C-alpha cells in the first residue's frame, strides 16, 4: 500500500493548533453571538424548579444571558429561574447545552 504521507513531520506549535480549533481559555468557542459583553465569574447560584433548588456555578454573565455549570444537567428543564445572592432573580431559557455547562438567555 502506497501513501503520500511523508516519513518526517515538521513540529507544530500549540498556538497554531489552538488557532485552527478556535479555542479561548481552554474552551472551544463558536462565533461570538452575544449582543452584550460577558463578564467572567465563578459565583455560586441556584436554579429554582418549583419548591426545589439546584446549585450551579455561574461561569459568565451578560445583560442578555449566562453560562451555568452543574454537577449534572440531567433533568434541567428548558425554562427556570436563576437566583444569585447579589443580583435579582432572572427568568431563563436554555439556548445550548454542552456536557455539564449550559447557556441561557434571560427572558
Query: What phi and psi, each to the nearest 5 degrees, are found at residue 38?
Result: -95, 155
Residue 96 lies in a domain: yes
User: Distance between CA atoms of 13 and 92, rounded to whole angstroms?
Assistant: 41
Q: Is 99 exposed, middle or buried (0-12, 13-18, 19+ CB in 10 A)?
A: exposed
Q: Is residue 3 part of a domain?
A: no
73: its cell numbers:
444537567
Range of the domain at 94: 34-106
pLDDT string in tens for the chain (107-residue length): 555 555 554 444 444 434 444 444 444 444 556 577 889 999 999 999 988 999 999 999 999 999 999 999 999 999 999 999 999 999 999 999 999 999 999 98
Helix%, strand%, coil% for the chain, nearest 5: 5, 50, 40
As for how many domains the chain has, the answer is 1
Establish if 81 belongs to a structural domain.
Answer: yes
**Is residue 15 domain-resident?**
no
72: domain CATH number is 2.40.10.220
Amino acid at each position: 500500500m502506497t501513501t503520500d504521507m511523508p516519513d518526517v513531520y515538521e513540529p507544530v506549535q500549540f498556538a497554531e493548533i489552538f488557532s485552527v480549533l478556535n479555542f479561548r481559555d481552554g474552551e472551544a468557542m463558536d462565533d461570538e453571538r452575544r449582543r452584550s459583553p460577558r463578564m467572567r465569574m465563578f459565583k455560586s447560584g441556584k436554579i429554582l424548579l418549583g419548591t426545589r433548588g439546584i446549585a450551579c456555578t455561574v461561569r459568565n454573565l451578560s445583560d442578555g444571558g449566562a453560562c451555568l455549570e452543574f454537577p449534572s444537567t440531567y433533568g434541567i428543564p428548558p425554562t427556570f429561574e436563576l437566583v444569585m445572592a447579589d443580583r435579582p432573580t432572572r427568568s431563563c431559557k436554555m439556548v445550548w447545552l454542552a456536557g455539564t455547562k449550559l447557556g441561557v438567555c434571560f427572558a
